[in-house]
Every structure is written in structure tokens, then in C-alpha cells.
Amino acid sequence: MSSREQYAPGAASGAEVRKEGEKWTLVVVRDLSHPPAKVWKALTDPEHLREWAPFDADRNLGAVGTAKLSTVGAPTPLVSETRVKRADAPKVLEFSWGEQDLRWELEPQGAGGTRLTLWHNIDRRFIAMGAAGWQICLDVLDRSLAGQPIGRIVGPDAMKFGWQRLHAEYAEQFGKS
């Protein structure tokens, strides 16, 4: 049984940066050994989001329309009005978080797994931070889906779990351009 104390993120991997004009996008790919329907529920159901995501939602994100996302672990609670633009279960989920757009794609993989791809439009200065944060969140998500929850690790909490090392590794991978 994996415990929170034993958790440490692996090496920085599975993320890349794409640039179109002045717009930067962090792309994170993760293979999960759970079916798309189960992963979809974790991405949309407020109860599941509380297990792993860097924000809480005031409603299920599996339907188009407005919702409120509250950032967790921030020094002051940040609540942003979001708009779910696309909710094509269990394949594509698109919504905004503050000024940033997130797009989640779920593709079935052999043996009942899912390839999860996240596109996150994020300020260039924060892209390595975002990559490190999402890697830890997706590790926690994976454990939660496997029935071995270790509790959400976000904000200052992530500092205790190797976030700085990950951030440095991603900053190096992505270069300073």
C-alpha cells in the first residue's frame, strides 16, 4: 500500500512545450491503467477532483456551461468563473481556469487503459512550474484511481514532495527560450 510519506515523483518526463506565435502551451501525456470512463469521472466529478486536482469545482464539469473553480493551496483562495466549452464524455473536456485554457483528451489504450493528454495554455514564465505541478497531481490521480489515495498534493505542500527538483528538471528540458 503506497503511503503519502513514501511518495516521491519520478524524473521529469511526459511533458513538452509548443509555441504558436506568442502563445505557449504545455502538453502533458500520461498513460493510465484505468478505462476512459473512470478517468473522465476523476476529471469532472467534484468529489474526485478533491482527491487530486489543484482546484475544487462547484459542480460536475462533465456538462457545458459555467462553473466556479477554487484554487487549492494558494495563499488566498482564488475563485474563478470558468466556462466548460466542450464535454464530450469520455473523450474531450475543455474549460478555462482563470485566463488559461485547459483541454483534456482521453484515448483508450490496450488492456483497458487510457492515454490522457492535457493541453494547458500557460504563461511562458510559469510553464516549468506548471509541468512539475501537473506531474505530481497526475501521480496522485493515478494512485487515487488505483484505490490507493495519498491525498491531494498542491501548492506549498508540493514543496515537501520534490517539486523544486522537478521544476528545475523541466526548466532545463524546456530551455530558457
Q: Does domain 15-174 have CATH number 3.20.20.10?
A: no
Residues whose CB falls within 8 Å of the CB of residue 79, separated by 6 or more in sequence, listed in order:
68, 69, 70, 71
* pLDDT reported for residue 2: 59
Q: Where are the domains of the chain?
A: 15-174
Sheet holding 23-32, edge to edge: 15-20, 23-32, 113-121, 100-109, 92-97, 79-88, 65-71, 55-57
The predicted structure's pLDDT at residue 3:
87
177 residues of the chain, pLDDT tens digit each: 558 999 999 999 999 999 998 899 999 999 999 999 999 999 999 999 999 999 999 999 999 999 999 999 877 878 999 999 999 999 999 999 988 999 999 999 989 999 999 999 999 999 999 999 999 999 999 999 999 999 999 999 999 999 999 999 999 999 854
Q: What is the pTM of this model?
A: 0.95
